[in-house]
Chain A
Amino acid sequence: DQQVKQNSPSLSVQEGRISILNCDYTNSMFDYFLWYKKYPAEGPTFLISISSIKDKNEDGRFTVFLNKSAKHLSLHIVPSQPGDSAVYFCAATRSIYNQGGKLIFGQGTELSVKP
C-alpha cells in the first residue's frame, strides 16, 4: 500500500525555467508534508515543509503547494539551477505520531537541470 506516490521517476528542465515536482497521497489523516533533496552518496536533506492547515509555503526559490481536496502537493523551483539536480523525495506524517519518526516517503523524482 503506497500511501505517498511520486509518479514521475525523472524530470529534465532547462536552467532558469521552473521545475514542478508532484506528489500524491492517499491517507487524508496526514497533516504535515515535507520535501527532501538527495545527492548521490549523501543522505536526504530537508528542503521545505507544509502543514495541512496551509495551502502554500514559500522559501526563497522553493514553494510547496498543497491541495487537500485532491490529496496532491507540488514543489516549484524557480528559477531552476544546475545545482538543483538531485533526487527529490516527498514525505508525509501525522501529528499523532507525537514521538516523531514515522515519515512516509514517496519513491522520489530525479531532477536534472541542464545549463
Chain B
Amino acid sequence: SAVISQKPSRDICQRGTSLTIQCQVDSQVTMMFWYRQQPGQSLTLIATANQGSEATYESGFVIDKFPISRPNLTFSTLTVSNMSPEDSSIYLCSVPGRGPLGLHEQYFGPGTRLTVT
C-alpha cells in the first residue's frame, strides 16, 4: 500500500483567510484525489488531480474555491480559499490502489482537520 502524509494535521483559521493543505505520497502516482468529510457526513470527492493537467472538479466544487496544484507525481496541494465556518471539515487526499480492483481501491492520507472560526 502507499504511504501518504498530509500537512498540517489540523488547523484553526479565521473566516476570510485561505489554507493550503499538502499531500505527499511515497511513490509516483498519476492520479491523486481530494475528499472532504463534513461533521457527521460521508466523504465527498472534491476533485481529481492529474499531473500535467488541470484538476477535474465534482459537481458543487469550483476551482476558485478549491484550487489544486499537482507539480509532480508524488505531491499535490489543495487550497481552501476565503474560508467560512461551513468549510470546517476533514480534508483527505488519496491515491489509487494496486490491488485487484486497481483504481477503485484507494489509499487515504491521515486527513487535515480544519476548523474555521
Contact = CB atoms under 8 A, between A and B. Distances in A.
B101 A49 contact: yes
A100 B41 contact: no
Given A46-B106, A93-B104, A4 B43 contact: no
Given A46-B97, A100-B96, A101-B31, A89 B42 contact: yes
Interface in A68-110: 89, 91, 93, 95, 97-103, 105-108
A106 to B, nearest CB: 6
B88 interface: no
A44 B105 contact: no
B106 to A, nearest CB: 6
Contact of A32 (B40, B101, B107, B111): B101
Interface size class of A (residues with CB under 8 A): 20 to 34
Contact of A101 (B4, B42, B103, B107): B103
Contact of B105 (A2, A34, A99, A107): A34
A45 interface: yes
B108 interface: yes
Interface in B39-79: 40-45, 48, 58
Interface string B90-117: 0010101101111111111111000000
Nearest to A3: B42
A105 B97 contact: no
B42 A43 contact: no
B41 A43 contact: no
A10 B102 CA distance: 30
Given A32-B104, A46-B97, A101 B43 contact: no
Interface of B: 1, 4, 9, 31, 33, 40-45, 48, 58, 92, 94, 96-97, 99-111
28 contacts: A2-B42, A41-B9, A43-B110, A43-B111, A44-B43, A46-B1, A46-B106, A46-B107, A49-B104, A89-B43, A91-B43, A95-B104, A98-B103, A100-B31, A100-B96, A100-B102, A100-B104, A100-B106, A101-B31, A101-B48, A101-B96, A103-B104, A105-B42, A105-B43, A105-B44, A106-B42, A107-B41, A108-B42
